[in-house]
Structure 1
Amino acid sequence: MTELLIAGVLALLGIAAAALLGPKVRVASPLVLVALGIAVSFLPFVPAVRVEPELILAGVLPPLLYSASVSMPAMNFRREFAAISGLSIVLVIASSVVLGLFFAWVIPGLGLWWGIALGAIVSPTDAVATSIVKRSPVSSRAVAILEGESLLNDATALVLLRTAIAGAAAAVSVWGTIGGFVFAVVIAAALGFAVGRLNLFVRARIPNATVGTVISFTVPFLASIPAELLGASGLVAAVVAGLVTGRLAPRMLSPQSRQSDAQNWSTVEMVLEGAVFLLMGLELSSIVGDVGQEQEGIAPTLLIALGALLLTVLVRAAYVAPLLRGLARRAARTAKMKPRLTVMQERLADPTAAVERAAANPTDWYRPSPELERGGVDAGRPSRPKPGAGRGDDDGVLRAELSERARRRIRRRVSRRRTPTVADMTRFTTRVTRTLADIDYLVQAPLGWREGGVVVWAGMRGAVTVAAAQTLPADTPNRSLLVLVAFAVAALSLLIQGGTLPLVIRLLKLTPTDPLLAHAERERIFTLLSDVTMAEHAAALEGAGVNDGPAPGDAAALEATTGGVPTHPATTPKQDALALIAAKRTALLDARDDGTFNADTLDAVLRALDAEQVALQLQGDPDR
């Protein structure tokens, strides 16, 4: 027991030292830990280290992925979902098949199914790349894609691994495999959503932030364990629970609870991630020893691993290139929709008037007036569509030239519907606003070949690869060799790609975010907050029946007379300040849900509001 405690203390000190040393030597701390583990594993007095793979897959990965998903902006995840799902599913399957053919060719007697199993093991990327990329001037879109990919591709790889192992023992139905995968994802997503909402429902009723944080430590397991028992993906369940928690926590949990979660989960994430990479290095000597007893040497194994690593990069590049072209076409296509959507947004500014127009003209109420079409955004548009016009539009009702048949179809469909209410118009306005924000997001941060190069080179392997390799059955052909190949691919990927990623980013000369855009966005946020302050001030005056005081919209006068906080005769200044903070937070969260502002900028402002509220609440009794 004493030796185990000493080992644990030394491991924690090593993780802390790597976190401090890594930035000084410009090497990611996980790489330092892998190298440290490899060096320690060959010391003569250090025993062979073997870790149960289930400990990593069921005990470490769910909280790690949950922690990452909580901090990921859900809006960015939604916007990049097509790219994320493609990289997480299509690319993993393609890489597994290509690598399976390669392994079956270079390893005698392996067979295609076992080759695909090994390909599935080395296909998923690791989240360590994101920590490196975030410190560099890389597009936020590229970071979001890499983050989302690392959250979901593990589940695809593990499902494919189970399928390949089953296929090696018996015939496997393609449709059965697809059905099993869909079942695993859908059930896991439903469980994760339910657990995430239940977590927030319970914690919103617990005032003690420390107790709430302790409960949060159980959430990834409450999502993953039932999912695994039902045959679904526990990792997907943990990710969905994290996304739900991250999106709704600012509305449902107190700032103290969220600050406690952020601090404690940051510590847990550092310890778990560091332990995984340290164990990767420590397991090397035992894995090499097993292969040395069964094979002629490790040199052929390293050559196979290098070939596999090269193939993973080539397959990834072959997939990312057309992906970027598709994203560019999508951005260009949606940009053409912006003028009409802008007009639609203006026409929906008054929901009551929009309802009246809809009742009077059910099919064309959302369209610009003929005068506006002639002199505004639709000026010069031909009266009849050209062949193929409008092809590929995301929303057919937004095309300028609808055929007469389409118009009749819309009239028949609309005639069967009820007239929209003000609430319907408000929801539709929100959708239009969100779509416009999505268009700005795609247009302002295009993904070119430089960003594509980062996405390709950042696809490194890590802990999941090593853990999944050790789940191979004992009767697997050349099992020790396959485990060492997987370990070598992960280690070489971390050392080569991870070690050179900062250099690659510098060589690509990525264009930094325009500071003028960032400044303009901050100004818009401050304008929104100022509008909220004035609205609260006007509401306070109206509630008190007071007609004097600063005029509505006069933020400078309000700042001079009340310190920027609306006052009400029935409340204390402290209560007024807390109410104002709550109103500002609600406005910012509404803007976040609409996608109006950059997620990172908005998060910084929300954290500042949280700190301001905590400082006020620490001043004592709210009635004083």
Structure 2
Amino acid sequence: MEVLIVVIIAIVVIALATAVAPKLGIAGPLILLLIGGAVSLLPFVEVPEINPEWILVGVLPPLLYSAAVALPAIEFRRDFGPIAGLSFLLVILSSLVLGVFFIAVIPGIHPAIAVALGAILSPTDAVATSIVKRLGVSRRVVTMLEGESLLNDATALVLLRTMIASVAVATTVAGDTTVGVGFLPAFAWGVLVAVVVGAIIGFLNLRLRALIKNSAANTAVGFVVPFIAYIPTEELGGSGLVAAVVAGIVTGQGAARWFTPEQRRSDEHNWQTIELVLEGAVFLVMGLELSDIVTQNVQDHNGLGTGLGIAAGALAIIIAVRAGYVSLLVWLQSRRARGRQRSRLEAMSARIDEIAAGGAVRSGAAAERGTDAAASRDDAARPTASRRRRRNRRNEVSLDTPRAQRRLSSMRERVSRAMSDLDYYQASPLGWKHGAIIVWAGMRGVVTLAAAQTLPRDDTSDRALLVFIAFAVAVGSLMLQGFTLPWLVSVLRLERSGDDSLDRAEQSALDDELRDAAVAALSSPALRRRDGTEFSDDLVEVVGSRMVDPPDETDTLPTRDLLELRLAMIEAMRTRLNQLSSGGGYSTPALRHALAELDADQLSLELRLDDED
């Protein structure tokens, strides 16, 4: 009963802190951290020891899965290079530099444990993204921070586990204190297995849930997906967290095509709630445990000076390494935005149009390989111009063939996507001010706290000191950077993202495309009711003349027929929206907003149809 009361109180506190945070101008997790720390100082409060496995296995997989499902796919693809660098290269670089620092300042520490502690301190926390979003910083910066916090957790934990395993291997060889050379293959294997298993689980999740029509059963299946991806991956020696992330990305990108509107809207609200409760609980527990960790270090090290000094040095190194890496990243991205690629892309687009107008497309080397030796000998005896015409005819395929049409369409899509990407880079360039925000928003949090407690008790000397260093870095980072980030944004005078006129213009253009798709569907012979029957010509003509306005209650036409026709047009618009999603011409927020509107319209129409029955 006591545990139940504590859980109820914790959920209420998390909800209230989240509700009050916007009014106070402070991120909810920071408020929970302060509340937990204050409660831990009360003499009658006894905080039980929490097994870190509960956080690593029970909390992080659904948290990372939830973030992966909501990942902005188009922007993530465009900035995957920088995100991968922040998530992989920067984590490994920071871990190695910190490892050298810990070896120098902590006598007798095992090199692998030093690197493991560096891996614990390297990943950033998603709380930074929520703060940056609230401050209205560039959406490109937000996407990069989201992607980094999503992927670097898995990188750090794979590296941590590999280092801890190498300690056990090294200590069995005559007390050797060197890091085993097998950690690189183990790291690669852990990521590879995770990607494969996560992709398979994500695909199976889409197919299975598409077959389950009961909404409650469908939701229940969705809740266990991150754990289904995590458990077998860990058994195979891979990273379960990477698998959960991959499964979430696959599910999130396939939801628009495979799930029903009810499933999508239900998933969105359910995972937002789960994310709120789990993340808030971790920060609350972090504050509650702080008092005991401080007390233990005071007893073991005659004060906190040693731990705080090392933690301050580690935090300074983290920020310095991150600043150097981000500076290089911003410089490379600015060069990319200034690259003179548009003229080349426009020339390629014009060439594709020329080929389409000419009625033939080059088939490439395949046609040349299909010629026989006799034709080659005949060509040798012909005049040069004749041979050239014959060769050109061999290398051309009529556009009337499906293969040529598909190839031409694919070429056009690639060029269009490349031009849209270039527009994106030039419209939202990264400058030194954005780089400063990326550096300062790299706060430590949930993963650092949970991972610190997984350090082995038997093979780790001064374990309490190492855990305290991790907690001090996480708390110091959240307090120092979290509370000063709004001030930094104000000082830099960055332009706020989300310009209403630009958003409305983009949404209006997308609405026009979807409306055109609905009008085109009215003249399609494939337009049918849900039961497969055709619509009357009078009904289609009337609705077409109204430019697909929603049906009116006062309409003289049968209401049920209007509702059915509207549902058919929504399906045509959703099909067009899925096509536009892969083109890169519209941002992910605009596409998701349009999809949410279609889903809401469909649910409303289906409810009215149910009332008609």
The verdict on a shared fold, with TM-score over 0.5 as the criterion, is yes
Structure 1 position 455 matched with structure 2 position 461 = no
Alpha carbons of structure 1 residues 9 and 283: separation in structure 2 relative to 1, 3 Å: same
Amino acid at match of 1:606: L
Alpha carbons of structure 1 residues 605 and 6: separation in structure 2 relative to 1, 3 Å: same
Amino acid at match of 2:418: T
Structure 1 position 608 matched with structure 2 position 597 = yes
Distance of 2:476 and 2:539 partners within structure 1: 72
Pick from 557, 566, 572: which aligns with 2:561? 572
Whether the aligned pair in 2 keeps the contact of 1:22 and 1:29 (CA below 8 Å) is yes
Aligned-pair CA distance for 1:615 = 0.7
Structure 1 position 234 matched with structure 2 position 240 = yes
Write the mapping of 1:265-284 to structure 2, written as runs, cut at 5 A.
265-284=271-290
Aligned-pair CA distance for 1:464 = 0.8
Alpha carbons of structure 1 residues 221 and 544: separation in structure 2 relative to 1, 3 Å: closer
Partner of 2:570: 581
RMSD: 3.3
SS in 2 for 1:51: coil
Partner of 1:148: 147
Whether the aligned pair in 1 keeps the contact of 2:362 and 2:395 (CA below 8 Å) is no
Structure 1 position 65 matched with structure 2 position 64 = yes
Alpha carbons of structure 1 residues 72 and 360: separation in structure 2 relative to 1, 3 Å: closer
Distance of 1:18 and 1:229 partners within structure 2: 38
Amino acid at match of 2:438: V
Partner of 1:263: 269
Whether the aligned pair in 2 keeps the contact of 1:34 and 1:278 (CA below 8 Å) is yes
Pick from 341, 357, 360: which aligns with 1:337? 341
Pick from 316, 320, 331: which aligns with 1:314? 320
Structure 1 position 220 matched with structure 2 position 220 = no
Distance of 1:342 and 1:550 partners within structure 2: 40
Partner of 2:113: 114
Aligned-pair CA distance for 1:300 = 2.3
Deviates more, 1:307-316 or 1:571-580: 571-580
Pick from 502, 506, 522: which aligns with 1:517? 502
Per the normalisation by structure 2, the TM-score is: 0.86
Distance of 2:475 and 2:396 partners within structure 1: 62
Amino acid at match of 1:434: R
Write the mapping of 1:386-401 to structure 2, written as runs, cut at 5 A.
none
Partner of 1:370: none
Pick from 357, 362, 373: which aligns with 1:358? 362
Distance of 2:89 and 2:150 partners within structure 1: 15
Aligned-pair CA distance for 1:457 = 0.6
- Gaps (5+ residues) in structure 2? 171-175, 368-390, 528-533
Structure 1 position 506 matched with structure 2 position 490 = yes
Aligned-pair CA distance for 1:572 = 1.7
SS in 2 for 1:83: helix
Partner of 1:383: none
Identical-pair percentage: 46
Alpha carbons of structure 1 residues 428 and 560: separation in structure 2 relative to 1, 3 Å: closer
Per the normalisation by structure 1, the TM-score is: 0.85
Amino acid at match of 2:480: I
Deviates more, 1:584-593 or 1:104-113: 104-113
Whether the aligned pair in 2 keeps the contact of 1:210 and 1:257 (CA below 8 Å) is no
Alpha carbons of structure 1 residues 535 and 314: separation in structure 2 relative to 1, 3 Å: same
Whether the aligned pair in 2 keeps the contact of 1:348 and 1:354 (CA below 8 Å) is no
Structure 1 position 531 matched with structure 2 position 513 = no
Amino acid at match of 2:571: A
Partner of 1:405: none
Aligned-pair CA distance for 1:167 = 4.1
Partner of 1:195: 201
Partner of 1:488: 472
Deviation track 1:520-549 (CA, whole Å, cap 9, x = no partner) reads: 322321220221122123326998896998
Alpha carbons of structure 1 residues 547 and 89: separation in structure 2 relative to 1, 3 Å: same
Distance of 1:66 and 1:549 partners within structure 2: 44
Partner of 2:74: 75
Whether the aligned pair in 2 keeps the contact of 1:100 and 1:117 (CA below 8 Å) is yes
SS in 2 for 1:204: helix
SS in 1 for 2:341: helix
Q: How many residues align?
A: 571
Partner of 1:382: none
SS in 2 for 1:357: strand
Whether the aligned pair in 2 keeps the contact of 1:351 and 1:426 (CA below 8 Å) is no
Whether the aligned pair in 2 keeps the contact of 1:99 and 1:115 (CA below 8 Å) is yes
Write the mapping of 1:590-609 to structure 2, written as runs, cut at 5 A.
590-609=579-598
Distance of 1:300 and 1:328 partners within structure 2: 42
Whether the aligned pair in 1 keeps the contact of 2:522 and 2:540 (CA below 8 Å) is no
Aligned-pair CA distance for 1:4 = 1.0
Partner of 1:206: 212
- Gaps (5+ residues) in structure 1? 364-410
Partner of 2:50: 51
Distance of 1:578 and 1:544 partners within structure 2: 12
Whether the aligned pair in 2 keeps the contact of 1:223 and 1:237 (CA below 8 Å) is yes
Write the mapping of 1:407-486 to structure 2, written as runs, cut at 5 A.
421-475=404-458, 476-486=460-470
Aligned-pair CA distance for 1:54 = 1.0
Aligned-pair CA distance for 1:345 = 3.5
